[in-house]
Amino acid sequence: MAADIAQRTELHAFASLTLSDRQFLLGDAAGQPVTLAGCLSLPPGAGPHPAVVLIHGSGGIGAAMPCWVRQLTALGIASFVVDGFTGRGLTSTATDQARLGRLAFILDLYRALGLLAGHPAIDPARVALMGFSRGGQAALYAAMTRFQRHWNHSGIVPAAHLAFYPDCATSYLEDTRLSAVPIRVFHGLADDYNTAGRARAYVARLRAAGADVVMTEYAGAHHGFDNPLSAGPAIAAGSQTLRRCTIAETEPGLLRNTATGRPFNYDDPCVERDPHVGGNPAAAAAARRDVAAFLSGLFRPV
């Protein structure tokens, strides 16, 4: 229907940095400069519009992303889809996650906020972050006040953080100190890539610290359950999963494998391969309804 078609689409380039996890954690900006791009879709109407910044997972921008953009458009919400790979010469990190720091996407999100802060069609007081898998991890941990203090110079404090099936295998210093905004996590109970149990444990820690965080779980749903081109789970051949790893930042910038006490790397025995990915139409439809209800409440007409 016409209501879910953007009235205008814009492509924007913006500057970011390629940082190692250690650099990001230490606030060290001596990374490799990179120019990234994003696609801004504006809904009908004069605006300024609320907006959601979306960022993809380890496989890049996939088939689910246009579905989310169209749903946001139908809700009267602008969307800015960040491509964190092409400008870095990447198409995927699934089989070699060491090719890009796991926290690099957080800076990309903050830089995207900086671009939207000056856009006349966007209401900077009503911008949320939303990500999937690797991007879900970024959208979730971007709520940390420590990271915002070091890296978010956009002038925008995100109004909410929505994370789909994020990896929560790592605990960071100060990771329960978050912006006082809603955090929403969406996870499949059959996910053996980034397990729901790990996310549930982090959510419990956040709730104990007083955060406004809710995790919604979908029975029978695997990783990437919102993929409309997949009818069911299949092995993601060669993809790395941290489902057996427990990693902790034991001092600023140092991520240790808690089982070995040594700095973590992707050659550690806990890193496994061949998890499952695949769509689940019922879970995807439920998630779309849940996100629509949440954002409609968050972005009430002003």
**Tokens 């380039």 found at:** 13
Write down the pLDDT at residue 39: 98
Write down the pLDDT at residue 1: 56
Burial of 250 (0-12, 13-18, 19+ CB in 10 A): middle
Write down the pLDDT at residue 302: 55
Contact 298, 128 (CB under 8 A): yes
How does pLDDT run along the chain (302 residues), one tens digit per residue?
Answer: 578 999 999 999 999 999 999 999 999 999 999 999 999 999 999 899 999 999 999 999 999 999 999 999 999 999 999 999 999 999 999 999 999 999 999 999 999 999 999 999 999 999 999 999 999 999 999 999 999 999 999 999 999 999 999 999 999 999 999 999 999 999 999 999 999 999 999 999 999 999 999 999 999 999 999 999 998 999 999 999 999 999 999 999 999 999 999 999 999 999 999 999 999 999 999 999 999 999 999 998 65
Flag whether the pTM goes above 0.75. yes
Contact 275, 244 (CB under 8 A): no
Task: For residue 79, list its beta bridge partners.
Answer: 41, 52
Contact 156, 76 (CB under 8 A): no
Write down the pLDDT at residue 3: 87
- Per-residue burial over 108-135, b if 16 or more Cβ lie within 10 Å, else e, is bbbbbbbbbeebebbbbebbbbbbbbbb
Write down the pLDDT at residue 97: 98
